[in-house]
Structure formats: structure tokens, C-alpha cells
């Protein structure tokens, strides 16, 4: 966790930690703690699709946008290392 202050772009490691916390919360809520991580993630993604359907959000737009963000973040992380 970062201290309060000016915004600093999070690292991909930090993003992965946030995602793992979300998966862990989902696994606890659905009593899937005994399942492997891939199963937990795929079930969460499935339920996110149900949420999109229920709220009339385009799953294709969500995944296209997410993929774009992911590729940008990976590219930027590689550029910083160079």
C-alpha cells in the first residue's frame, strides 16, 4: 500500500496483487477456496459475464477495453525497463 500523496502509476505487480485480492474475496464468497487459481478466475470471469448481461453492459466492449489496458500497461512496463 502506498502512502497518500501525488498519484504514482501502479506497477503491474501491484495490479496483480489487487486482482488476487479480488479473486480471493470471490473464492471466499462462493466457497471455492479449495479450487485452483485458474478455476477461481474462470468462474469469476463467467460471473462477470452474467453481471454484464444483467446490467446490459457489452461483454465484448469490456474485454476489448481490458485487453487494450493490459497491452498498454505491459508495453509501458517494458519501456521503463529499457
Secondary-structure percent of the chain, ordered helix, strand, coil, rounded to 5: 75, 0, 25
Q: What is the DSSP string of 13-41?
A: HHHHHHHHHHHHHHHHHTT-TTS-HHHHH
pLDDT in tens, 11-41: 999 999 999 999 999 999 999 999 999 999 9
pLDDT exceeds cutoff 70 at 3: no
- C-alpha 44, offset from chain centre: 10
Sequence-distant (≥ 6) Cβ neighbours of residue 26 within 8 angstroms: 32, 40, 43, 44, 47
Is this structure's pTM higher than 0.75? yes
Amino acid at each position: 500500500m502506498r502512502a497518500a500523496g501525488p498519484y504514482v502509476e501502479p506497477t503491474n505487480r501491484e495490479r496483480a496483487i489487487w486482482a488476487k485480492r479480488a479473486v480471493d474475496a470471490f473464492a471466499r464468497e462462493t466457497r471455492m477456496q479449495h479450487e485452483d487459481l485458474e478455476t477461481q478466475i474462470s468462474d469469476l470471469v463467467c460471473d462477470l459475464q452474467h453481471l454484464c448481461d444483467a446490467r446490459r453492459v457489452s461483454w465484448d466492449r469490456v474485454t476489448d477495453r481490458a485487453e487494450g489496458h493490459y497491452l498498454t500497461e505491459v508495453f509501458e512496463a517494458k519501456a521503463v525497463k529499457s
